[in-house]
Structure 1
């Protein structure tokens, strides 16, 4: 009882030439950048315990990863959410699943009201950019 049946990790991933910003990819293993020590430890322990790990990656450039969120990235939320739900459904009904959001989420709130605020700000920024291009 209380055994974890699945781990789902979500992180940004560097897009390759020709890939679209905000595209969502699914894979196996821990989605986590950096030197890999933490990733290795999590994967080793999960393998020993027979816990599958899913990776969900939202593609963006290095610059986009450290800049205010672009609309294309925000628009990928629903696709990423659907990927998470598919992974959850692969776990036995009633079992425990860990969803790990990896990376820099500073400034992002944890409720729907805050997400709506972010969406409004992104849309406003897009309008400003469109007006500037039209001048």
Structure 2
């Protein structure tokens, strides 16, 4: 999938927000609230948000948690954009999709505690607007 410059502008805040799951820090409630605001403001449905996480963000940054001194302050925006774009481009590849599906239990397992609350907050914010 090749993204237009308009798509990139729309997707980058979502990538940045979802990448916060993979920083080497505790995810404080105020960060979760920030993520929810970004996702609620995006044009993406909940299933597409999950797909963006699973196929674009998690493959790009999940290795951060395997590092001894992983990134904790935030990923460099240009680096994150390039990595997520690369994963987005590979998203339609059958082999990439198989690889991600095999890794999904671990990837989703790590972030599982946050999804129900995050979905609720996103839905509430979207109703308010």
Query: Considering only CA atoms, is the larger Rg found in Structure 1 or Structure 2?
Result: 1
**Fold match (TM-score > 0.5):** no
Q: Would you tell me which structure has more strand in proportion to its own residues?
A: 1
Q: Would you tell me which structure has more helix in proportion to its own residues?
A: 2
TM-score (norm 1): 0.28
